[in-house]
Structure 1
Amino acid sequence: MNPALNIAVRAIRVGGKIISQYYDLKNITYTTEQSKILYFIYKIREKVFLSISSIIHQSYPKHSIINVCSKKKIINHDYQWLINPLNGTINFIKKIPHFCLSILIKEKNKICISVIYDPIKNDLFTAIKGQGAQLNGFRTRCCEYKNNIQNKIIALYFKEKNIKNTHLYTSLIQQFLQEKISLRQTGCSILDLAYLSSGKINAYIGFNEKSLRVTFGELQIRESGALITDFIGGHNYIENNILLVGQVNILKFILKKTRILNQKLI
């Protein structure tokens, strides 16, 4: 195993254990004050980050270790470890077992290793640039699309931003339902991207998706054979905050639908 990946796996499992303990022992509901809930989540993220970063620091004391949930600026360094201590916060709060931790390693600002961990299901998704993606040690590939679009699964993420996006989102859902496509909006976009890379779902569509969340799953996606585009088939998905992810043929199918809908909305 790659030495850096080995450390990342060891660290993320320790962080996952902490998350699992809080998930099992604490009953967080919206009946308490919102400020107390936010503070509690903040303390959990801090504890997870400190536990993960201490393990990394023992082996790589000169590398930058960054908590992406913190407001601190990212340090410009040749080696960066980006840590997302918890994605899928609402699921965690509401006791829905679909959330994850993730670690991203950058060398000279280029992503080289990605680790995503679901502590409840004990699923470990890993990817090394040029060496493929894995789930629990087994090589994974994205789902191939041939002739039949029916019974495929598409995961969705939507955060309202403007009317046009809302209309496009609802119109796409209508189109997919007519095609008998199954839709999922799970509340954990990083884990959705990991699921796509391991063939559990067929495509992912994100409206107003945060670029950092995309970054954590990007290497997994590419190493599994999937592609990322914007809604016109280009590469400006970060700037546009709208992206499509999937195997090339299913992307062609979705892009055909979005082009028709975009023309109607103009």
Structure 2
Amino acid sequence: MNPMLNIAIRAIRMGGKIIAQNYDSKDIRNELNSLNKIYYLRKIRKRIFSSIYSIIHQSYPQHSIHDIYSKKISTIQNNQWLVNSLSGTMNFIKKIPHFCLSILIKEKNQMYMSVIYDPIKNDLFTAIKGQGAQLNGFRTRCCTYDNDFDKIIAFYFRQRSQYNTNLYVLLIQQLIRETTSFRHTGCSILDLAYLSSGKINIYIGFNEKLLNINFAELQIRESGALMTDFIGGHDYIKSQVILIGQANILKYFLKKTRTVYKKINSSKK
């Protein structure tokens, strides 16, 4: 096994233990108010990052290790470890077992390795550039099922743009007539890891955080999935709407998203 991957797995599992202990030990839904919950989450994230940092730094003291929740910006570019200590915080607070922590390793500012860990289900998703994606040590591929029925769609939606909100509503209205299943899970990084392992068919994000996509991008690409905007182009960063899935499934959904896109733009004129 890749020695850097070994260290990443050891570090992320240690962080996962801290999450699992806090998830089981305290019911913060009712015991803490809003401000205390924020403080509590920051404290957990700090502990997780500290444990991950110590393991990585011990083996790679010359590498830069960056907490994405910290305001400090790393100056070392050759070898960089980015740590997301807890994604899906609302699920964690509400005792919904769908959250994760993740590590992204960059070499010369290029994505080289990604590790995503679900500490409750003990699922470990890994990907190395040019070497494929894995779930718990077994090679994974995105879903190639291209039937018109029984597709599972994972959505991410933040109401930051009225235009994208209208796109979202029109698309839901069109898809709800079909035999598709919708998922709004509250943890987009874990959803994207599920897509890379064939558990869901397509991911549709509205006003998605680019950082979430970055942490799972290697899993997406190494599993054979593609990323487009609503018209099949690559302008998803600017438009803030993104479709992710295998080519045949994307082709099917792009027919619908292009129709919605044209409809909403014609109504503006």
Give the secondary-structure state (helix, strand or coil) at the position aligned to 2:29: coil
How far residue 20 of structure 1 moved from its aligned partner, in angstroms, is 0.1
Q: Give the count of matched residue pairs.
A: 265
CA distance in 1, matches of 2:20, 2:133: 25
CA distance in 2, matches of 1:74, 1:214: 20
**AA matched with 2:101:** L
CA distance in 1, matches of 2:186, 2:14: 23
1:105 aligns with 2:105: yes
1:198 corresponds to which residue?
A: 197
Give the secondary-structure state (helix, strand or coil) at the position aligned to 2:52: helix
1:177 corresponds to which residue?
A: 176
Matches within 5 A, 1:35-184: 35-146=35-146, 148-184=147-183
Q: What is the TM-score with the length of structure 2 in the denominator? A: 0.96
Cα deviation per residue 1:79-110 (whole Å; 9 max; x = unaligned)?
00000000000000000000000000000000
**AA matched with 1:203:** I
CA distance in 2, matches of 1:76, 1:264: 47
Give the secondary-structure state (helix, strand or coil) at the position aligned to 1:178: coil
CA distance in 1, matches of 2:157, 2:86: 19
Is there any run of 5+ residues in structure 2 with no aligned partner, and where?
A: none
**AA matched with 2:83:** I
CA distance in 2, matches of 1:50, 1:217: 22
Runs of 4 or more off by more than 6 Å in structure 1?
none
1:11 aligns with 2:1: no
Q: Which moved more, 1:241-250 or 1:38-47?
A: 241-250
CA distance in 2, matches of 1:239, 1:9: 34
CA distance in 1, matches of 2:237, 2:49: 26
CA distance in 1, matches of 2:76, 2:233: 28
CA distance in 2, matches of 1:74, 1:204: 31
How far residue 29 of structure 1 moved from its aligned partner, in angstroms, is 1.3
* 8 Å CA contact retained: 2:63, 2:76: no
How far residue 26 of structure 1 moved from its aligned partner, in angstroms, is 1.3
- C-alpha RMSD of the superposition: 1.1
**AA matched with 1:18:** I
CA distance in 2, matches of 1:196, 1:49: 26
Give the secondary-structure state (helix, strand or coil) at the position aligned to 1:212: helix
CA distance in 1, matches of 2:245, 2:5: 25
CA distance in 2, matches of 1:217, 1:32: 32
CA distance in 1, matches of 2:21, 2:47: 12
State the percentage of identical aligned residues: 66
CA distance in 1, matches of 2:184, 2:75: 34
**AA matched with 2:169:** T
Give the secondary-structure state (helix, strand or coil) at the position aligned to 1:70: coil
1:242 corresponds to which residue?
A: 241
Cα deviation per residue 1:181-210 (whole Å; 9 max; x = unaligned)?
100000000000000000000000011111
How far residue 30 of structure 1 moved from its aligned partner, in angstroms, is 5.5
Give the secondary-structure state (helix, strand or coil) at the position aligned to 1:102: strand
1:216 corresponds to which residue?
A: 215
